[in-house]
Amino acid sequence: MGHDEHFLERLDRVHRDQVELALGLYRDHELVRAILSDARLPPDAERVALALEDGGGGPHVVVARNGAFVTCLGEGMSTGSLPIISRAHLEGLAVKTERVREGLALARKRGVNESQLLERLEQAGPAVSREDFVSASALLGPAVPLLTGIYVSWAQALEEIFPLLHSSRTWAPAIRKRSEESIARGAWAMAHSAMVLVNSATREWVREWAELPAHENLSPWSFLTMTSAFPFVIRAAWLAGRLGKPMIHSYKTRFTKAINSIDLREAGWGLACMGLRHASLRAEAFRALQAPVASGGSGREAWVDQGYTYFAEIARILEAKEDELRAEGNQLGRDFVLVRTDWLPETSRYSFRKRERVPDDLVLPGLFDGWHDANNGERSADLMLLGVVAAARARAEDFYFPASMLHAIGPPDLAVDGESMVKMRRKLQGISNTVRHGERPGRNDPCPCGGGKKYKKCHGR
């Protein structure tokens, strides 16, 4: 008798409530392959038990390493030394697999391929839509080296461009505009590639990645936090929360050893998001945020000592007011959507006029795409608090507007965003905005920008 026939005969050991789940697994070969590849089975394990109910008592479905169904074990029957995959883990993988299927179906329906999606991620900035992201997660998610390469190359490019724009030399307006566009486009490319990478990562990849020695001292998401723009800083926090338990040791270590504000903020907000997203990590993460740290460490920036007090207070506020902050964040997201759409004609499906008319599926992307400085200013902590509470439980696609709304509000101005990011970076690093120029033209001379106006009516205003 074959394994599959034996399995079907032994379904009588399973309560009728679990028979449907057992048969669903039996029919879904793709899901079973995903479960087995994610399980990280010991090399000598030829079979694995899939729990149909959590609690340890069963029932279980026994599956061979090659995906063949072996048997069913009723409630109370021993699984022996078989590795066990929990019901919660099964459900999580089922949801993830379904999203991949939806993404592939959506990509086929829209007629897009991998190269087109890659170009969107790198070039479209905030105009990458929810449909783009879901399709990219399905088609590009397994391409770890490719997505990592996009992230790293743009991180390096931004680190080269920022110092140039901080220098005292006079830039031709057209060159400066292109450079600022590149800064904004690059930051968005980093954010999109990191979100697709982590959202699609297998549990095995996360474990192996977390074990890299470099993570004791640095985080790749620091490049996002360093931009200071809220859409990127909040995504860095979400990435930490999504990675979860395998990374908590790294975040605790880097938080304790931080010597500059960026390292402290990235690790601190990451710990906060981990604690809010995972009930099992909450006490550990919040305890790390509130643990005393000796002041005045070697080479430490002056703000870092204040930052430890700051994050201890953040943890206390999150413990006391999480639900209130979530409600407030949702209201703010609705308000941001109203601001983004208030110029649209009343005939537009995205003309809302009142907060309560904003659809629920626009609230989170409205909040997460709010453009403000997350690292400087009195309100930065308040806005990050609201963002982290909302982001902790968010899905990756909740960071993106649907394509129809992006079409309605029109293309973004990347040069304006890039200019704003340069100013944020100057403020964060304490660089004066004053730029020394050569001899100024006379008020009635032609403006050196080449726009054709007199200096007094152009850049001399």
What six digits make up the tokens of 177? 């505009």
CA 224 to chain centre: 10
Residues contacting 301, CB < 8 A, separation 6+: 259, 260, 261
- Quick check: 34 pLDDT over 80? no
Q: Which tokens sit at 303?
A: 């703000």
Which residue, 136, 129, 127, 128, is CA-closest to 107? Answer: 136
pLDDT at position 201 is: 84
Task: Report the distance separating Cα 312 and Cα 210, nearest Å.
Answer: 25
- Evaluate if residue 211 carries a pLDDT over 90: no
In the predicted structure, residue 439 carries a pLDDT above the cut 50: no
| Backbone dihedral angles phi then psi of residue 55, each to the nearest 5 degrees | 125, -15
Query: Considering the chain, what percentage of its residues have pLDDT values greater than 70?
Result: 86
Distance CA 432, CA 228 (A): 17
Token pair 């089922």 in the structure block, residue: 94
- For 139-145, the CB contacts below 8 A with 24+ separation are 139/103, 139/104, 139/107, 139/113, 139/114, 140/114, 140/196, 140/200, 141/100, 141/196, 141/197, 141/199, 141/200, 141/201, 142/200, 143/114, 144/197, 144/201, 144/205
Asked whether the predicted pLDDT for residue 10 surpasses 80, the reply is no
- Kindly report, residue by residue over 44-73, the tens digit of the pLDDT: 788 888 888 877 777 888 888 887 888 888
Position 96 scores a pLDDT of: 64
- Which run of H or of E encompasses 43? none
Residue 434 has pLDDT above 50, yes or no: no
SS3 content of the chain, % helix, strand, coil (to 5): 65, 5, 30
Structure tokens at 454: 């007199």
- pTM of the entire structure? 0.75
